[in-house]
Amino acid sequence: MSKLPKAPLVEVVTELRWKITSKEELAGVQYLYGDLYNELKQKYPFRESILPVEVPIEMTLNQPVHRFRSEKGGYPLLQVGPGIITLNTIDAKYYWETFFEDAKELIQTFFTIYSPNNTMAPALLYIDFFPFDFHENNVHEFINRKFNVTFGQSFLETEKLPTDFNMGFAYNMDLGDLRVNFQKGKNKGTEGILLQTRLNGNPDQPNIEIINNWLKEAHSLLSNLFKQLTQGELYESFK
């Protein structure tokens, strides 16, 4: 297993979403939390509630409600709520092979204890961070110089530097909906640019093999996209 030693990676998330269309399904999801924890507590023993218990369950659809961690305050972690489960990790703990095996285990466990009746849609998200001083540098020039992106404006004549930044691209791919977004953000108190590359899979019938194969193809697509996006001086700086 290998990865870029100076990668700008912050977090990796895989999601599995499914539709809940009845009150009975919604009520039944509450048992999922305990059942999932019971099966995976040796690996993820630390439990957290994400939302206050007084929040009505109807308002938690497609939102994580509980979080299970491998260690207190640490990663990897999994999250679960009505219509959604996620597996999250950070750069220090990330190797694709390990992450994929953890994802397969979570998916297998989920299908063992819960039987969704409706279509499901997987997703894979990478969040990267690039330190950048918006007060001293021009973010448009930085993006054009460092990434394979051409961006600028000709509607305003000014010597002032942009103080904020948000741009994105969306494409319909065979594997689903591809989203690439740059925006101003912070990481551990440092200001800079957040890059989110996300692939949302097309809804399909619940099937473990289909989901696992999709994850492998999605990882390959997003990995190649990142290399192409940062190809050149920027990518070489990660080695």
Residue 52 has pLDDT above 80, yes or no: no
Q: What is the mean pLDDT of residues 172-194?
A: 96
pLDDT of residue 53: 66
Q: What is the mean pLDDT of residues 218-239?
A: 96
Residue 1 lies in a domain: no
Task: Map the chain to HEC letters.
Answer: CCCCCCCCEEEEEEEEEECCCCHHHHHHHHHHHHHHHHHHCCCCCEEEECCCCCCCHHHHCCCCCEEEECCCCCCCEEEEECCEEEEEEEHHHCCHHHHHHHHHHHHHHHHHHCCCCCCEEEEEEEEEEEECCCCCCCHHHHHHHHCCCCCCCCCCCCCCCCCCCEEEEEEEECCEEEEEEEEEEEECCEEEEEEEEEEEECCECCCHHHHHHHHHHHHHHHHHHHHHHCCCHHHHCCC
Residue 2 lies in a domain: no
pLDDT of residue 87: 98
Residue 3 lies in a domain: no
Instruction: For residues 99 and 3, give the distance between their C-alpha atoms in angstroms, rounded to a whole number.
Output: 13
Q: How confident is the model at residue 151 (pLDDT cuts 50, 70, 90)?
A: confident
pLDDT of residue 210: 95
pLDDT of residue 22: 78
Residue 4 lies in a domain: no
Number of domains present in the structure of the chain: 1
Which span out of 14-23, 42-51, 151-160, 196-205 was modeled with the highest average pLDDT? 196-205
Q: How confident is the model at residue 43 (pLDDT cuts 50, 70, 90)?
A: very high
Residue 137 has pLDDT above 80, yes or no: yes
Residue 146 lies in a domain: yes
pLDDT of residue 71: 93
Percent of the chain with pLDDT over 70: 95
Residue 230 lies in a domain: yes
pLDDT of residue 23: 78
Helices 96-113 and 23-40: angle between axes, nearest 10 degrees: 130
pLDDT of residue 101: 97
Q: How confident is the model at residue 1 (pLDDT cuts 50, 70, 90)?
A: very low
Residue 103 lies in a domain: yes
* Residue-range definition of the domain harbouring residue 149: 9-236
More confident residue, 162 or 221: 221
Q: What is the mean pLDDT of residues 96-123?
A: 93
Q: What is the mean pLDDT of residues 187-201?
A: 96
Residue 55 has pLDDT above 70, yes or no: no
